[in-house]
Chain A
Amino acid sequence: MSMALELVGRATAPDTDSPLSIRGLTVSYGEKPAVFSVDVSFRPGQMTAIVGPNGAGKSTLLKAALGIIRPLSGQITSYGRPLHEGRARIAYVPQRASVDWDFPARVLDVVMMGLTRELGLLGRVRASHRARATACLDRVGMAGFAHRQIGQLSGGQQQRVFLARALAQEADLYLLDEPFAGVDAATEKAIIAVLHGLRAEGKTVIAVHHDLATVAEYFDRVFLINTTAIAEGPVAEVFTPSHLQTAYGGRLALAQMGGAAAG
């Protein structure tokens, strides 16, 4: 029976090449749903910003898409296959503030976590693994910090270490939760350079983003959400004053939209 359903699903779903396709996703923490009946398919090889007001369910959507929190309902597929079959192709950068940075670990130890799938439970860490982790650190401009305790890093440096860990996963889809929150300008530049580099390699990048002024500059596409999905498409088509008014419920100051109104 489940096979038949799957076949029907495949026949009707045009999204077998979508790195992340979400159908009918509803997530609730209490009585009110945080995300309600969201359908969205992200395009491959593009950089998409998930944009919406505070409490709009942006991070919740990401976490549900990754199976970190259990939704009330909904179907997640990655490259046309169920999530649990596609995890090896997905890398995740959680919010920096979601972990305790006093944890006894060095920068290199954290980046090596990105190699866990490859190393397995008892696989030996070889020089080649360490070299790869160091190369990932180099890519985010942190090569000199490999042996630092993670608690000694600045916020921006911590964010870069998280990005390096995701790079070590060598995925095709990168999901980032507020990668620019509370980081310095140099880090923001370094991160965006890495993300654009990933796009140039044909990878897909999806990031929860809260700075409306930089959306048009950094991203190709936008997914607007406020509990329910509002619109998804190229920045020029979706990132418009009328869509933003819908998403932000008219409370959005025009000055905040700056680039949006112009673009």
Chain B
Amino acid sequence: MGQDFVMLSLTPLLIGIAAAVACALPGNFLLLRRQALIGDAISHVVLPGIVAGFLVTGMVATGPMMLGAAAAALVAVILIEVIRRLGRIEPGAAMGVVFTAMFAAGVLLLEQSAASGVHLDVQHALYGNLESLIWLDGYGWGALTDPNALAGLPPELGRMVAVLLCTVLFIAVLWRPLVIATFDEGFARAMGIPTAILGLALVAVAALSAVAAFDAVGSIIVIAMFICPPASARLMTDRLGRQVAWSVVFATLSAVLGYVLAGYGPLWLGYDNAVSAAGMIATVSGVILGGAALFGPRRQSVSRADATSLASTLAE
């Protein structure tokens, strides 16, 4: 049991948790800034980057393709900011323009690569496969202290944990300016806080989390984790610090519950096959959001208009 768990489930669980938390943390600020869809946007715009990484090197290798993805995400982030500020249009529209255009460019690029006769597994790049990230050298709990076994850990784990640490560091150090710039940009600028650079940095950190996360676990988790845990957390409290803490709890819960349910849920119900862990994790986060919307202590304050209509519906 212990051996099976360490070899087959420990690393996917840890990677799932790290990916979920790394996306949920910046998601808190993106949600409050009405930029929550940036996760969705990023998971689309990276397609041209992945294809370009492949076209340049001619190999299906994680390194260059992820570099391409990161570069594409950065280009998209800058384009969105530029269009938003120069065109003076709302962030949602700017994101919509950029991510559809870049996704379309990616599709065109993909046709070029198909012409070269090499199969490019974009499916895998976009949807990931959490269950495959097993630790073959993990012969038991003892392997955790065995340098030889540790060397065989899936590289996604190291990458994901490193990105998670970056995200935590960014938010911890810049907490005060981030909060002020998110709540009251004018006041922040009057204080001398460079809000444009700060906003760009936040989105860049989110892009980093998104690229690392979907390399490991697929884009479905990225999209869900940017929005669901922070939105659920907002319904639990009226203080931002506590909201962030709740979002970490919900992200972790989604990853663990989703992974377990995907692996064992169908068996319990009498079916043979497990279902996609990424899909189940996203589903669990959605269920948590539903629960928070119905029973969260602060659902009244989020949008008074919505809450009043919800309350009257419930009363009927």
Task: Identify the A interface with B (CB < 8 A).
Answer: 29, 63, 66-68, 84, 87, 90, 92, 94, 98-100, 102-106, 109-110, 113, 116-117, 119, 121-122, 149, 151-152, 165, 175
Contacts and interface: CB of A to CB of B under 8 A. Distances in A.
A87 B190 contact: yes
B272 interface: no
Interface string B183-225: 1101101111000000000000000000000000000000000
Nearest to A119: B176
Interface in B299-316: 301-304
Given A63-B186, A98-B186, A99-B184, 13 more contacts: A90-B190, A92-B191, A100-B183, A103-B183, A104-B32, A104-B237, A105-B240, A106-B238, A113-B179, A116-B176, A121-B176, A149-B238, A165-B187
Contacts of A175: 190
Contacts, number: 80
21 contacts: A66-B186, A87-B190, A87-B192, A92-B191, A94-B190, A98-B184, A98-B186, A102-B301, A103-B32, A103-B183, A104-B234, A104-B240, A105-B240, A109-B239, A110-B183, A113-B183, A113-B184, A119-B176, A122-B173, A149-B238, A151-B301
Contact of B190 (A66, A99, A103): A66
4 nearest interchain CB pairs?
A149-B238, A92-B190, A66-B190, A68-B189
Classify the secondary structure of B's interface with A.
Answer: helix
Contacts of A119: 176
A113 B187 contact: yes
Interface of B: 32, 88, 173-177, 179-180, 182-184, 186-187, 189-192, 234, 237-240, 243, 301-304
A92 B188 CA distance: 10
A113 B180 contact: yes
B239 A104 contact: yes
B186 A92 contact: yes
Nearest to B195: A68
Contact of A105 (B190, B191, B239): B239
Contacts of A113: 179-180, 183-184, 187
A191 to B, nearest CB: 17
